[in-house]
Amino acid sequence: MVFSSNLFLFGFLPVFLACLFIIPARFRNIFILLASLVFYAAGSGTLVWILVFSIIWNYFFAHGIAQGKSRLMLAMGVAANLSLLAYFKYANFFTSEISAYLGELGITSDQTILSITLPIGISFYTFQATSYLIDVYRKAVKPSASIVGFGMYLANFPQLIAGPIVRYSHIEKSIEHRPITLAGFSDGVFRFCIGLGKKILIADAMGEVADLIFALPVNELTTSLAWLGVAAYTLQIYFDFSGYSDMAIGLGKMMGFTFPENFNQPYRARSITEFWRRWHMTLSTWFRDYLYIPLGGNRKGSSRTYFNLFLVFILCGLWHGAAYTFIAWGLFHGLLLTIERIMLNRSGFKLQGITGLLLTILLVMISWVIFRSENIAASGTYLLAMAGLGEGVETYFGLGYYLTHDRLFILCIGWLIALAPFEKLTASGGVGLNPAVLEFGKKAISIMVLLLVTIELAGKVFNPFIYFRF
């Protein structure tokens, strides 16, 4: 079950919200916990028990840390979380690599050594649990007094599957006391609808284009198609993931929670450094606070700083999945960040304005090719095609087959939204609208998006969010 499915929109969500308002406030945590487990089980089946066990052991590890056995319990808790992540996410990769190596030695096997199903959202809730244990150790938060409250935090269905990564400190006060107001609920509905529109109306349309082009044989991939494919995928991954985050934040507002923002118009960045301050912000700050800074950050000289950057982004790539393309993607970003830091430190040079914007977009698009490709060789072939060195021959009708009028319209709208200076439009006094008019506009937009989405979903094949597989 996903947020963009008919089952969720017209079944689970209305029932959940109705029950949430009906039941007494003191029972809401247990209700949200049970509803979240049902939601998760609908998508992952029996793997919901992994989440249940994670709730139990992290709850008791946190109390062990607080009661004096801090270092030992912290090490055991973090090791348990990371071992869980490593087994489910990377065991298949290593066993398949071993099988391939054995095949090269003449030892054949009909199947890989292991066949492990990846629990949806495991990367997100294990990172949340790990940050919780570390924060308890640092005395930044107190361990949850109630296992129900902690379980509700870790299993909270809006952000469980694909983020944003919510730290315990973000909602600690809201666990026991969170009034649900009409204004907050209204804002939540609007934010949810914006995210739903991003996913269904833009991301899915661009995903169709990207999937078709990235699947083309080498001899059919022309330069124009290669650029169209990466332009479409660049929009798809942004609107897909930011759309989910908007929906999660909106659902949180409906329930009385304030989840952290996860995106801030990343394609308006003027450097890769700025890009990572705007893209998947809860992940980048997680790596900063729990890995980069503990490793020494930039406090132990240039060489150590560059090493830390590369290590963080290699692990960031691996966090997305067990594949050489993800590692290469992380290394590419680590290299770009290192180059930017060297240029800034040695000469004070920093790209700005439209030049910085265009170069950053170009570099990000190159990185998305690596990220999206099936393997390193395929990414190299695709990049060669973008550079005009591919095997495909341009034809008059080639581009038009994939870029229909409706797709062209969505492509233009998508890039316009991605690059529009909304921060200037929404600055103090920038909009200049009466609050009542603004509220009416939000409701009108919400209704319009819901109508368009309903029409689109009527004949739509199931298409989950990209980040579900991470």
Active site residue 170: no
CA–CA dist 187, 299 (Å, integer) = 42
CA–CA dist 43, 203 (Å, integer) = 21
pLDDT of residue 90 exceeding 90, the answer is no
Let me know the angle formed at the C-alpha of 353 by 349 and 356, rounded to the nearest 5 degrees.
Answer: 60
For residue 181, what are the contacts with CB-CB under 8 A and spacing of at least 6? Answer: 256
Cβ–Cβ under 8 Å, residues 44 and 165? no
Q: Which amino acid is at 456?
A: E
Cβ–Cβ under 8 Å, residues 248 and 419? no
Q: What pLDDT band is residue 461 in, cutting at 50, 70 and 90?
A: low
Q: What pLDDT band is residue 361 in, cutting at 50, 70 and 90?
A: very high
Q: Which amino acid is at 89?
A: K
Q: Look at 32-36, 309-313, 450-454, 459-463 and tell me which has the smallest mean pLDDT.
A: 459-463
Catalytic residue among 170, 320, 333, 405: 320
pLDDT digits (tens, 9 = 90+) for 113-168: 567 777 888 889 999 999 999 999 999 999 999 999 999 999 999 988 887 999 99
Nearest to 378 by CA among 328, 338, 342, 331: 328
For residue 368, what are the contacts with CB-CB under 8 A and spacing of at least 6? Answer: 230, 233, 234, 237
CA–CA dist 211, 460 (Å, integer) = 16
CA–CA dist 247, 195 (Å, integer) = 5
Whole-angstrom CA distances from 118 to 11, 63, 93, 96, 316 are 26, 29, 12, 15, 18
pLDDT at 249: 94
Helix (H, G, I), strand (E, B) or coil at 252: helix
pLDDT at 69: 73
In the block, tokens 């229909």 appear at 404
pLDDT digits (tens, 9 = 90+) for 232-290: 999 999 999 999 999 999 999 999 999 999 999 999 999 999 999 999 999 999 999 99
Peptide bond into 164 cis (omega under 30): yes
Q: What is the pTM of this model?
A: 0.90
For residue 219, what are the contacts with CB-CB under 8 A and spacing of at least 6? Answer: 391, 392
pLDDT at 396: 65
Q: Is 41 exposed, middle or buried (0-12, 13-18, 19+ CB in 10 A)?
A: middle
Q: What pLDDT band is residue 464 in, cutting at 50, 70 and 90?
A: low
Measured in degrees and rounded to the nearest 5, phi and psi for residue 69 equal: -90, 55
Alpha helices in 162-301 (DSSP H): 168-176, 182-197, 204-214, 223-255, 272-278, 281-287
Q: Which amino acid is at 171?
A: I
Q: Which helix (H) or strand (E) holds 101?
A: helix 70-104
Cβ–Cβ under 8 Å, residues 403 and 228? yes
Nearest to 313 by CA among 355, 349, 269, 367: 367
